[in-house]
Amino acid sequence: MAFDELLGPAIYYAENGYAVSPVVGQSWRMFETLLAPHADSRRTLLVDGRAPKAGTVHRQPDLARSLKLIAQEGPAAFYNGAIAQEIVRFSRAHDGLLALEDFAAHRGEWVEPIATDYRGARVFELPPNGQGITALMTLNILEQFDVGSFPRLGADHLHYVIEAFKLANAEREQHVCDPKFHPVPVNDLLDKDFAHTQAARIDPKCAADYPVPARLRPHRNTVYLTVVDRDRNAVSLINSLYYPFGSLMVAGNTGITLQNRGAGFVLDRKHVNCIAPGKRPMHTIIPAMAYRGEELTLSFGVMGGEYQPMGHAYVLTNWLDYGLDLQEAIDAPRFLPGLGVVAAERSLPAESADALRRRGHVVVESDTALGGGQAILIDHRRGVLQAASDPRKDGCALGY
C-alpha cells in the first residue's frame, strides 16, 4: 500500500475535521488550562483558548500538512527532512535534548514476544522495555491458586488478584528497562518455580504492606485496536502519547504533539531504568495475543497506563477462570493497587470493598474509569469471530 493511501483517511480528517466525542471532549476540557500556556498547543488544540466541545468539529491543518509530506516523501520526511528539523528547532527553543542525529539513527525493531501458559492458553506479550512481563508474572502467580473456585468479585477473588499484581509490579519496578543497556532476567522472572515462591508470599487474610519488596535479585492516554481478517491474520496494536496530550507541547508548525515517555525513567543513577542518551524508558503500552496450541485464539489489549498489565491479567482470569464471555470480562468492575491504596471503580460491590478493608487494603473510589479494552476471539471450531469493546472509552466492535 502506498503512503498516500495509508495516510489518506488521517489527512482527510485532520484537514476537514472530525467530530469531538463525549469521552474525548471531557478529557480535552480537563486539560485545557494546561495546554493554554503553550502557544503552539493553544493554536493547534484549543478554540479561542478553550477545549472544543463534544459534538463540534475540530480541524488540525498543520498536522494535515505534516501527514501529506510523509505521504509524498515517505518516512524520510519525518526522520531526515523538514519535520525532524522543525521538531528539533522547537526542542532546542524549549531546552529540550532532541537532535537530528536522534531521528536519523532511529530504527523500528522486530522482536520476539515473551509468553507464559495460563489455564490452557499461551499468552504472548512484548518483551522489555515494555511492561507486558508484569501481566505474565501476575498470571503465573494466580495459576498457583484455584481462582475460579472463589466467588467472583468476592473478597478472596479480589484479594488474590490484587496481591499477585503487587508482587509482579514490584519486580517490574526493580528489573524492567531497556535491555540494550542492562540485561533483564526475563527467564527468571517468568520461571514457574519463582511464581510458586511468589505465591507463597501472599497472606490469604491480610494485605501486604506497601511498598512490596522485589524478591528476584539483579545479576499514561492510549489508543488500542485489534483487527482479524478472513484468513485469520491478526493485528494487536497500541499507540500512546502516555499522559493525555503527552508533554502538552505541539512542536512548532508540525501539528505533532510530543509525548512524555521520558516520565517512565527514574533518576537514581544506580537503577537499571535510569535515564541515559539513546535509552528507552520502561514502557507501559502492551498489545497482546493468546493461543491455544498452534491456533491464535484471542487478540486483545487493555489501555490505561499503569493499569494495563492488571487489565490483561484480570480480563484473562475473568474469561478463563470464570467463563465470562469477552464483553462480560471487559465490562467487569475494575480495581488497581498502587501507592499504598486500591483504586476501585464505583461499580465494585460495596460489600467486597468492605471485606478488602477488613484484610488491610486501603480501598478508595477511583475518580475515573480504569482503562479501556478491545478484544477479538477466534472460534476456529465454529468458524466465527466474537468481538468486545469497552464502554469506558470511545470504540466499537465491527464485522464486515
Q: How far apart are CA 101 and CA 104, in angstroms?
A: 5
Helix ranges (H only) for 36-154 are 39-45, 61-73, 76-79, 82-93, 100-105, 132-142
DSSP per-residue codes, 279-304: PPPPB----EEEEETTEEEEEEEEES
Query: How many Cβ atoms are within 10 Å of 382's Cβ, its own excluded?
Result: 8
Contact 311, 284 (CB under 8 A): no
Q: Residue 313 has what pLDDT?
A: 97
**Sheet of strand 114-118: strand arrangement:** 114-118, 121-125, 288-292, 295-303, 372-379, 384-389
Question: Under CATH, which architecture does the 114-220+284-389 domain have?
Answer: Orthogonal Bundle (1.10)
**What is each CA distance from 249 to 17, 21, 27, 233, in whole angstroms?**
21, 22, 16, 37
Residue range 33-43, pLDDT digits in tens: 999 999 999 99
Single pTM value for the model: 0.93
pLDDT for the residue 389: 96
Ranges of the chain whose pLDDT falls below 50: 218-219
DSSP string, 301-328: EEESGGGHHHHHHHHHHHHHTT---HHH
**For residues 6 and 255, what is the distance between their CA atoms, to the nearest angstrom?**
19
33: Cβ–Cβ under 8 A, 6 or more apart, which residues? none
- Asked about 116 being catalytic, the answer comes back as no
- Of residues 56, 44, 95, 398, the one with CA closest to residue 256: 44
Q: Cα dist. 357→159, 237, 274 in Å?
A: 10, 37, 35
Structure confidence at residue 29 (pLDDT): 95
**Three-state DSSP class for 15?**
helix
Give the three-class secondary structure for 57: strand
Q: Where are the domains of the chain?
A: 3-107, 114-220+284-389
Each residue's pLDDT tens digit, 42-64: 999 999 999 999 999 999 999 99
What is the predicted pLDDT for the residue at 244? 87
Closest by CA to 141, choosing from 121, 166, 123, is 166
Residue 218 has a pLDDT of: 47
Marked catalytic residue, from 116, 222, 284, 297? 222
SS3 215: coil
C-alpha torsion 367→371→374→380, nearest 10: -120
Could you tell me which residues come within 8 angstroms of residue 257 by beta carbon, excluding any fewer than 6 positions away? 41, 44, 45, 241, 245, 246, 247, 248, 249, 250, 251
